[in-house]
Amino acid sequence: MSGHRRRAVLGIFAGATIAAAPALAQTASSPVVGTWIVAVTVEGPPSLTLPNLVTFAADGTMTVAAPPRLPELPAEPEAYFSGGQGAWTASGQNGAKVVFAFVVSGPDRAFASINTVRGSLEVDPANKAYIGQFMLTIADKKGATIGAATGTWKAKRVEAGDSGPVTMP
């Protein structure tokens, strides 16, 4: 690689790092950072509420742990779910916008879909709870949308100083 091209490539990386610094600072100081127990309600019919554990890292990444299987629903095949991986960014003083994805397999454990969740949330002034809404898009192997749903989430912070079990919000 020529010296000119190498400097151009390094300049792109340096520029990206400098551009990301304010966003990272905003994300790192957000009240969203931490682990939350979340009641996820998917609008029906039938309506369904599931527990999730969500961790928002200061670097803008997030992980989602959910039950590996949904309760049996009428006319729905058995499905298995991976954990979710994604990103978030601060929105306003106490809010966040999120996007994460998880993989679904069918009864034979073969790939069925990749599900993408996009949503927003707002942390309460005491930094102990949040509420928000989301849109779920279900895509097949080729990325074609094969389903969608909307819903809400309600969460409470998991804190090290709490005694007793972690319970749903």
- Tens of pLDDT along 15-29? 333 333 344 445 678
Mean pLDDT is lowest, of 40-49, 94-103, 117-126, for 40-49
Quick one: pLDDT band at residue 6, thresholds 50, 70, 90? very low
Q: Look up residue 69 and give its DSSP letter.
A: B
pTM of the model as a whole: 0.81
In a domain, 75, yes or no: yes
Q: Compute CA distances 155 → 6, 51, 107, whole Å.
A: 47, 10, 31
State the pairing for strand pair 111-123/145-157: unpaired
Spatial distance between the Cα atoms of 84 and 135, rounded to a whole number of angstroms: 15
Considering the domain boundaries, does residue 169 fall inside one? Answer: no
Q: Residue 47 is encoded by which pair of tokens? A: 């309506």
The total of structural domains in the chain comes to: 1
Tokens of 64: 């989602």
Q: Within a domain: residue 22?
A: no
What is the tens place of the pLDDT at every residue in 43-95? 977 788 989 999 999 999 999 999 887 766 555 678 889 999 999 999 999 99
Does 69 map to a domain? yes
Structure tokens at 8: 């151009």
Can you spell out the DSSP letters for 77-136?
---EEPPEEEEEEEETTTEEEEEEEEEEE-TTS-EEEEEEEEEEEEE-TTSSEEEEEEEE
Please tell me the predicted confidence (pLDDT) of residue 80: 87
CATH number, domain containing residue 133: 2.40.160
In a domain, 76, yes or no: yes
The residue among 159, 166, 162, 157 whose CA lies nearest residue 32 is 157
The answer to whether residue 25 is domain-embedded is no
The more confident residue out of 109 and 57 is 57
Q: Which two tokens stand for residue 134?
A: 């989301």
Alpha carbon distance 38, 66 (integer Å): 10
Position 14 in a domain: no
Domain that holds residue 147: 31-157
How is residue 146 written in tokens?
A: 């094969």
pLDDT confidence of residue 155: 97
In a domain, 2, yes or no: no
